[in-house]
Amino acid sequence: MNNENLLFYNEYERFYEMAERSSVFKNFCRDAYGEDFSQDGFSDIKQINRIIDLIPKGNDVHILDVGCGNGKMLGYLQKRTDVYIHGFDYSENAINTAKKLFPANADFKQGIIGEIDYPAEQFDVITSMDTIYFAPDMGEFIQQAIRWLKKDGVVFICYQEGDVMPKTEGPRTTVLAKALQENKIPYEVEDITKETYEMLKKKRETALVYQKSFEEEGLKEWFDLLMIQTDCAVQSFDLFSKEMARYIYIIRKN
């Protein structure tokens, strides 16, 4: 696959190579987010545990994560609920690690959002944590994801504004919300901006605790990036929420 021209491709390859090798980064993720999922962003354990409430009980339950990285979030959900896990990501390094870490009842594929396809009615839950931004057409991608869902299935999307996507007025004016409205797809949305602000504060404090260890592992560059990512949470929540927002969108298939 010639991925080199895709947005951030080389950056993510380097990120997942570092995430596999670095023990400081693993410890940092565990302390900052409550669990190490090799996060490149904003998903902490509180957000991920919301997915568990949406997973049906039973023996033949399948969950797909779009932009699954190295699969650690799916691995956690499998440990908690015993589901079959499926994931795709364009990063070869990430998918190689996922296959190694989670070999049982799992299917990990290298694939590009908007290009990869699955047969209809395969999944009970589809999650997309900070990856929908990379879909060439969000509305079209959601239609495709709904096709992949079984009846009564659910799509769970964590969506950030003020980072890759521009900040808009509120949860019903985001680029994603507009795409859903244009495609007449009903959705529920929860605003988690306040808890994200608190999480980013913790992320910054934790990064500072590990600063020396990052430097000793030759990872000053990643420490500096963590400072840039969390700089927005140094100000008051009122100012933060003018620049940033985080929402969870839920789409149900009837």
Ligand X SMILES: C[S@@+](CC[C@H](N)C(=O)[O-])C[C@H]1O[C@@H](n2cnc3c(N)ncnc32)[C@H](O)[C@@H]1O
Q: Which is nearer to ligand X, 83 or 158 (CB)?
A: 158
Query: Applying CB under 6 A, which part among 24-32, 86-94, 101-109, 165-173 lies near ligand X?
Result: 86-94
Which residues, 6+ apart, have CB-to-CB distance to 59 below 8 Å? Answer: none
The reply to whether 39 sits near ligand X by the rule CB under 6 A is yes
Query: Applying CB under 6 A, which part among 33-41, 95-103, 202-210, 215-223 lies near ligand X?
Result: 33-41
Closest CA to 247 of 156, 164, 182: 156
The reply to whether 87 sits near ligand X by the rule CB under 6 A is no
The reply to whether 146 sits near ligand X by the rule CB under 6 A is no
Asked whether 130 and 43 are in contact (CB, 8 A), the reply is yes
By CB under 6 A, the count of residues binding ligand X is 20
Q: Which is nearer to ligand X, 129 or 154 (CB)?
A: 129
The reply to whether 112 sits near ligand X by the rule CB under 6 A is yes
Q: Site for ligand X (CB under 6 A): which residue of 24, 55, 125, 129?
A: 129
Q: What is the spatial distance between Cα 28 and Cα 24, in angstroms, rounded to a whole number?
A: 6
3-state secondary structure (DSSP) of residue 227? helix
Q: Which is nearer to ligand X, 76 or 197 (CB)?
A: 76
Joined together, the tokens standing for residue 93 give 């390094």
Asked whether 251 and 163 are in contact (CB, 8 A), the reply is no
Distance of CA 90 to the CA centre of its chain: 14
The reply to whether 67 sits near ligand X by the rule CB under 6 A is yes
3-state secondary structure (DSSP) of residue 155? strand
The reply to whether 161 sits near ligand X by the rule CB under 6 A is no
Q: What is the spatial distance between Cα 156 and Cα 23, in angstroms, rounded to a whole number?
A: 30
DSSP 97-122: HHHHH--TTEEEEE--TTT----SS-
The reply to whether 94 sits near ligand X by the rule CB under 6 A is yes
Q: Which is nearer to ligand X, 39 or 193 (CB)?
A: 39
Q: Interface with ligand X by CB under 6 A: which residues? A: 6, 8, 12, 37, 39-41, 43, 67, 69, 89-91, 94, 112-113, 129-131, 134
